[in-house]
């Protein structure tokens, strides 16, 4: 009798590969994920996996992207369901957060594998929203948890005169890129974030390649406005390609990245943002007197 072909054994081989990969991560941790082991478990040859994932990095990136999508979809579904009021909306969304985490044990924490990638990467991209003029709490926690990279001893810094340093357990000549969105439309809100990451780069001996910063970023997550951003996303792709090819973003590309996303300047931006909040408050029937807690503190553009 003829042996079943691989596609007969696994009608959707790509899904089967990701499922086995997720199972292996749940059982043994991300560090031990191997394409050969996945192939063995599926009864296929390793090159069959390369058709879908040319390398282990490729598979890991795809798993990370899928996990983010799955998490974001679970939260958006809970948020957009019918709710009695906004408190219920927040509670239901928070519960969806917890349920997702419990249902995806392979995606929990992940610090051990993140640290392994961090220690072996050629390029580390720090991506954080701007929260209160700095990085988010999650990003700060991640950076704090990179502490095992160093030993406790005090020695002079190898590059910076008259500066104290801890010996590194791991060092590669890594490169660093900073990516951050913020809500306000002015660029200078990123100043303290950039200084912080430049200091980390200098002290921890990264080559600082630059930054991609997007003020007025909140509408980027609005699916109905995506048509406005096609050019911006193309410029982002160009910037990424330039980072990979040349280690820096061309001046012209950087200038294009910093262009306003909307026609009409700040007033148009305020109107759009405020219309969004009005619409959210309408949805939950927030009475007029509760919309502006300081008397007379109404929206100036009206």
Ligand X SMILES: Cc1cc2nc3c(=O)[nH]c(=O)nc-3n(C[C@H](O)[C@H](O)[C@H](O)COP(=O)(O)O)c2cc1C
Pair of tokens at residue 159: 């590059």
DSSP 8-class letter at 12: T
CA distances from 240 to 170, 201, 210, 237, 254 (A): 26, 20, 12, 5, 11
Residues 203-262 that bind ligand X (CB under 6 A): 217-218
Closest CA to 213 of 173, 172, 184: 184
Interatomic CA distance for residues 54 and 88, integer angstroms: 45
Which of 3, 11, 122, 132 is in the footprint of ligand X by CB under 6 A?
A: 132
Output 42 or 182, the one with its CB closest to ligand X.
182
Interatomic CA distance for residues 66 and 280, integer angstroms: 28
Residue 83 found at the interface with ligand X (CB under 6 A): no
Output 153 or 188, the one with its CB closest to ligand X.
188
Output 16 or 139, the one with its CB closest to ligand X.
139
* Nearest distance, CB of residue 190 and ligand X, angstroms: 8
Interatomic CA distance for residues 262 and 73, integer angstroms: 27
Could you tell me which residues come within 8 angstroms of residue 28 by beta carbon, excluding any fewer than 6 positions away? none
Contact in structure between 165 and 158 (CB atoms under 8 Å): yes
Q: Which residues of 238-273 are buried (b: 16+ CB within 10 A; e: fewer)?
A: bbbebbeeeeebeeebbebbeeebbeeeeeebeebb
Which of 130, 135, 176, 201 is in the footprint of ligand X by CB under 6 A?
A: 130
Output 98 or 132, the one with its CB closest to ligand X.
132
Give the binding range for ligand X (CB under 6 A) out of 81-89, 179-187, 203-211, 226-234. Answer: 179-187
Residue number of the CB closest to ligand X reads 183
Give the binding range for ligand X (CB under 6 A) out of 2-10, 130-138, 170-178, 205-213. Answer: 130-138
* Nearest distance, CB of residue 103 and ligand X, angstroms: 22
- The gap from C-alpha 195 to its chain's centroid, in whole angstroms, comes to 20
Residue 193 found at the interface with ligand X (CB under 6 A): no
DSSP 8-class letter at 301: T
The pair phi, psi for residue 277, each rounded to 5°, is -70, -35
Give the binding range for ligand X (CB under 6 A) out of 27-35, 102-110, 182-190, 243-251. Answer: 182-190
Give the binding range for ligand X (CB under 6 A) out of 71-79, 181-189, 202-210, 251-259. Answer: 181-189
Specify which residues 124 forms β-bridges with: 176
* Nearest distance, CB of residue 234 and ligand X, angstroms: 20
Which of 39, 177, 181, 239 is in the footprint of ligand X by CB under 6 A?
A: 181
Residue 291 found at the interface with ligand X (CB under 6 A): no
Q: Which residues are near ligand X by CB under 6 A? A: 129-133, 181-184, 189, 217-218
């Amino acid at each position: 009798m003829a042996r079943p072909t691989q596609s007969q054994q696994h009608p959707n081989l790509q899904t089967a590969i990701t499922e086995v990969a997720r199972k292996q991560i749940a059982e043994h941790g991300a560090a031990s994920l191997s394409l050969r082991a996945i192939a063995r478990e599926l009864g296929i040859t390793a090159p069959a996996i390369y058709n879908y994932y040319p390398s282990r990095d490729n598979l890991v990136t795809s798993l990370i992207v899928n996990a983010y999508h799955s998490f974001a979809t679970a939260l958006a579904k809970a948020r957009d369901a019918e709710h009695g009021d906004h408190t219920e909306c927040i509670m239901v969304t928070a519960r969806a957060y917890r349920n997702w985490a419990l249902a995806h044990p392979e995606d929990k924490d992940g610090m051990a594998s993140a640290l392994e990638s961090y220690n072996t990467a050629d390029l580390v991209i720090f991506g954080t929203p701007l929260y209160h003029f700095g990085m988010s709490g999650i990003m700060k926690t991640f950076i704090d948890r990179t502490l095992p990279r160093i030993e406790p001893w005090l020695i002079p810094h190898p590059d910076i005169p008259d500066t104290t340093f801890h010996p590194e357990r791991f060092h590669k000549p890594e490169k660093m890129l900073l990516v951050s969105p913020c809500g306000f439309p002015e660029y200078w809100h990123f100043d303290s974030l950039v200084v912080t990451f430049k200091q980390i780069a200098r002290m921890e001996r990264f080559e600082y390649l630059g930054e991609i910063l997007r003020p007025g970023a909140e509408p980027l997550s609005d699916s109905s406005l995506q048509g406005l951003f096609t050019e911006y996303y193309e410029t982002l792709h160009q910037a990424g390609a330039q980072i990979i090819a040349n280690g820096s973003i061309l001046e012209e590309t950087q200038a294009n990245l910093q262009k306003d996303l909307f026609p009409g300047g700040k007033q148009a931006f305020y109107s759009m943002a405020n219309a969004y909040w009005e619409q959210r408050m309408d949805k939950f029937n927030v009475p007029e007197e509760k919309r502006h807690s300081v008397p007379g503190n109404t929206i100036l553009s009206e």
